[in-house]
Structure 1
Amino acid sequence: MAYRILFVCLGNICRSPSAEGVLRVRAAERGVALEIDSAGTGDWHVGEPPYGPMQRAARTRGYDLSRLRARQVAAEDFHRFDLIIAMDPSNLENLERLRPAQGGAELRLFTDYAPGSGATEVPDPYYTRDFDGTLELIERAAEGLLDVLSR
């Protein structure tokens, strides 16, 4: 059975779908079997594809996000996934509040897997407009996560 990971940001249109797309490619390159998904703590964009500028930036780096659609975190996610990774402390707090009493998934920040980056969150490019900088941090954290999973 593949290890199951859910990435979470606010709207599920920039950071978490990018993390999903990057980890899919990087895990396949390393031959690591994972079940990967993404979701948002908010419901504003449910059913929408990732944000256009984010998709374009990801595509130039070899990541196709076009088939992904935003969804909201659900209670069953805490049982379906082994690890739920938040893009920032605010979303981590939201996940801790949403977690059912018997929620089994471990909750972590994605930047926990990017030591030495100095980052405490993955900045939201919807607001910063730094899509490439966000992708660079996501790539770094994805490699760190794969290093941990490969031990």
Structure 2
Amino acid sequence: MIERILFVCLGNICRSPLVEAVARQRFAEAALDIEVASCGTGGWHVGAGADGRMQEAAAAAGYRLDDHRGRQLSVADFAHYDLLLAMDCANLRDMRRLAPHAIERTALFLDWAGVAPMLEFPDPYFGGQASFVASVKLAEQGVAALIERLRAG
């Protein structure tokens, strides 16, 4: 049974905090009692808030990221979380390198949720505001599919 999910991206200021916020809200609406959190594989943004462009796009869709503070993935996360979902293949590779003993609990977020044909969640960081808005839509789609898979068992 999955009780705790960690969403992982590179810096923990765009994709993973967004997916965490969408999942927290949608899981509550779906009456799923699952703890969610997010982090990054890199430590550049530890303690920093979510990217302002992502905060703006998320807020427009009804999700709050203003309390988010970036943190870096640690070996202890693999003991705490039942499922660790990476936003892209580079994140997944870094996760598996850090904890090869936990490979079976790691996967790509969109792939594990069953969002075909998407495997990776594109990083909006170097794009314009439209890429951040598109990220919100993709996060909502991914979390909806994730809920379906979790309910199906």
The TM-score normalised by the length of structure 1 is 0.93
Cα RMSD (Å) of the superposition? 1.6
Give yes or no for contact 2:8–2:87 (8 Å, CA) kept in 1: yes
Shift of 1:105: 6.5
CA distance in 1, matches of 2:23, 2:104: 18
Give yes or no for contact 1:18–1:58 (8 Å, CA) kept in 2: yes
After superposition, the C-alpha distances for 1:87-124 in whole angstroms (9 at most, x for unaligned) are 001100000001153x38610111112433x2221111
The structure richer in helix per residue is 2
Amino acid at match of 1:131: F
Aligned residues: 149
Give yes or no for contact 2:115–2:141 (8 Å, CA) kept in 1: no
Q: Which residue of 2 aligns with 1:149?
A: 150
CA distance in 1, matches of 2:122, 2:33: 28
| Paired residue secondary structure (1:39) | strand
CA distance in 1, matches of 2:132, 2:103: 33
CA distance in 1, matches of 2:82, 2:104: 5
Amino acid at match of 1:4: R
| Paired residue secondary structure (1:31) | coil
Q: Which residue of 2 aligns with 1:126?
A: 125
Amino acid at match of 1:133: A
Amino acid at match of 1:127: F
Say yes or no: does 1:91 pair with 2:87: no
| Paired residue secondary structure (1:150) | helix
| Paired residue secondary structure (2:85) | strand
Task: Write out aligned runs for 1:1-151 (5 A).
Answer: 3-99=3-99, 101=101, 103=102, 106-112=105-111, 113-116=113-116, 118-129=117-128, 130-151=131-152
Identity %: 44
Shift of 1:68: 1.0
CA distance in 1, matches of 2:104, 2:134: 29
- In structure 2, the gaps of 5 or more residues are none
CA distance in 2, matches of 1:2, 1:119: 23
